[in-house]
Structure 1
Amino acid sequence: MKSFEHVYRLHRLLKSRRYPVPFERVQAELECSRATTKRVLAYLRDVLGAPIETSREPRGYRYTDEAYELPGFWFSAEELQALLSLQQLLASFQPGLLDDALAPLRTRIGSILQSQGLKDSNAARIRLLRAAARPAGRHFAAIAAAVLQRQRLMIDYASRGSGQTSTREISPQRLTHYRDNWYLDAWCHKSNGLRTFALDCVIRADVLDTRAQDVADDRLNVELGGSYGIFSGAPTATAVLRFTAERARWVSVEQWHEHQQGIWLADGSYELSVPYHHDEELILDILRYGPDVEVIAPASLRISVARRLEKAAARYRGTSPE
């Protein structure tokens, strides 16, 4: 709701400033016309009772009561999602795991929500559903401690792809919660490179006395965050996907990757370009859209998706693909 956003932005601006805010700065923050800016100021002052004072020197607007808060429920969608996600994430941890350390945080989040009139009984009316979530594994606490204390780990890792278990010495870099599952980015001393491990596949984790080898954030972001998906690596290709006009209304507002590019075509379809390295996760997401998407490039990705679709169709026909 646009008017809500205007009031919320203005309130946040005035709360964050100790000195009067010029009208031009208010207008720029609200991203609207002079007339609309004046209406929002009047609404906040006259309807919501905000203690707005207009000063002449320096010229501008400010709150005379720094303790003023908007009445009712005034979280933005992003803040509400962050609070509820954190609350549900804490509740998902195993009983006894970091209970004493996390209890004050749970209490604080509950207090923040209650201050906005969102009681525990009502919080359940806003649901954040977890799809295909796997448990964090029984070694989460040890791994998290090693990440924060910068210690190396010796792990036994059961790879789902190969079905094999390997022992590795790793220097943990960061934990990632992605699509409701936990992953560890680490420098693998066995492979002599950066790798991403699913925490639920770690069957043993021993914290070593050896100091972890640090990898610069820039390198982590390039090698592990530059391409599509969690097992990304530095991008080596760009997928060009063309969605039908019907599906384009959804896909055009989706964020697949921070460096994606999208264009509307004359027939109403939508073409999305996404950098990637490993194609496995990308292929699975493409297949979700069935006949509503076509891989335009590269040819190798187009062939891989076509083969998957042919095998799926053959299974339903009860025949073997050629």
Structure 2
Amino acid sequence: MVDKRKFSTINKSKKDKPAGLSEKYFNLMKILSMLEKDQYPSRNDIANECEVSLRTAQRYMQILTSILPIQYNREKRGYEFENKLTKKTLFLENKEIAVLAAVFSTLKKREPLLYELFANLIKKLNLQTKDETTLEKTCICLTPDEVSINYESKVFKLVMEAITNQKTLRIIYKSIETGNITEREIDPYELYFLDGEWFVYSYCHLRNGYRWFALDGIRELEMTEKKFIKPKDFSMDKKLEKSFYIFQADPVTIKVRFLPEIAHKIRRKKKLHKIEHREELPDGSILVTFEVAGLKEIKRWLYTFIPHFEVIEPDELREMIRRELEKELTKF
């Protein structure tokens, strides 16, 4: 019986080889392709595919077996990878492993739920390096935020499952700001991590609009059998384009002068917000103009620079900060 695979390849011209590749390299890639497709190539198969002698085919296999776990399968009468995951192995540089290790370490200390998922992903990818560098040996360290996450793991897992399967959730929710408790159904779109807390962006059927829900505000939840369809043109980046962090409101233009004492901190950051304009002033201060959604989030961020900033506009923000600071000063 004619082996069609051999017949289709035996007459290929060597001129079909991509320009710039040596004959040996090109043939080794051919053999790896056969192995990855589980074709169990024999020495004869390799000789026919590469249009070389049996002796040369044997040399090719000696090269490959010296760097990869390849074995001869007597039953199939051909070569195969010892481990089926080998063909999915990713060989990384030390700097790439270092970055993964930093993330791995940080998640382990601060977010055990994501750490578990990340660890499983790493196992499936079967990462390897050319030396002894591993995820336990890294030259990068990320300082973990010690903020305690006060929600049960089942909440996180169920929300993530609902997002993946596009299933509506029924929740009992306590508002972080007002303390009001409501029952509602939400279509969860995406999870977002901010200031040590997790939020889920959802379509709320109770309010007939999009809302953010803090996971630690969810008192009870269950997944319904209702399916929702996420709009094809939905983009979280586009939604948050003008938000300072995540919350949305009407756009407003804000001008802030950062005093010379902290101007160096501002210069170190290429951008403080996606939509901004900077101007260096003669006295060494920096005037930054922002276009953001609402005042709430940028006001909270500006407080981290007290007393080294001045709000130029709008007057509403100036007045808001003045009143709050005056109220706080009465406590001292």
Query: Shorter-chain TM-score category?
Result: 0.5 to 0.7
Distance 1:132 1:19, change over 3 A: farther
**Cα RMSD (Å):** 3.5
Alignment of 1:143 with 2:159, yes or no, is yes
Q: Secondary structure at the match of 1:130?
A: coil
- Residue 244 of structure 1: CA displacement? 0.7
Aligned-partner Cα distance in 1 for 2:100–2:256: 31
1:245 to 251, 260, 265: 260
1:180 to 192, 196, 211: 196
Q: Secondary structure at the match of 2:284?
A: coil
Deviations 1:174-219 (A, max 9, x none): 1112233211011111111111111121111211111124245456
Aligned-partner Cα distance in 1 for 2:217–2:129: 35
Deviations 1:209-263 (A, max 9, x none): 11124245456544444221222x1542022111011211112333432122222
Deviations 1:157-180 (A, max 9, x none): 111200111111111111112233
Q: Percent same amino acid at aligned positions? A: 22
* Corresponding position of 2:310: 294
Q: Secondary structure at the match of 1:296?
A: strand
Aligned-partner Cα distance in 1 for 2:277–2:98: 29
Alignment of 1:278 with 2:299, yes or no, is no
* Corresponding position of 1:88: 106
1:117 to 133, 136, 139: 133
Deviations 1:17-60 (A, max 9, x none): x988xxxxxxxxxxxxxxxxxxxxxxxxxxxxxxxxxxxxxxxx
Aligned-partner Cα distance in 2 for 1:179–1:110: 33
Aligned-partner Cα distance in 2 for 1:109–1:310: 56
Kindly indicate whether the alpha-carbon contact (under 8 Å) linking 1:132 and 1:180 is maintained by their aligned counterparts in 2.
yes
* Corresponding position of 1:309: 325
Consecutive unaligned residues in structure 2, runs of 5 or more: 1-17, 21-66, 68-90
Q: What is the TM-score of this pair, normalised by structure 2?
A: 0.63
Aligned-partner Cα distance in 2 for 1:171–1:93: 24
Aligned-partner Cα distance in 2 for 1:112–1:240: 50
- Residue 71 of structure 1: CA displacement? 11
Q: What is the TM-score of this pair, normalised by structure 1?
A: 0.65
Which structure's CA Rg is the greater one? 2
Alignment of 1:168 with 2:184, yes or no, is yes
* Corresponding position of 1:212: 228
* Corresponding position of 1:74: 95
- Residue 81 of structure 1: CA displacement? 5.0
Aligned-partner Cα distance in 1 for 2:230–2:211: 14
Q: Secondary structure at the match of 1:85?
A: helix
1:126 to 118, 137, 141: 141
Aligned-partner Cα distance in 1 for 2:198–2:129: 26
Consecutive unaligned residues in structure 1, runs of 5 or more: 1-17, 21-66, 317-322
1:256 to 272, 277, 284: 272
- Residue 149 of structure 1: CA displacement? 0.7
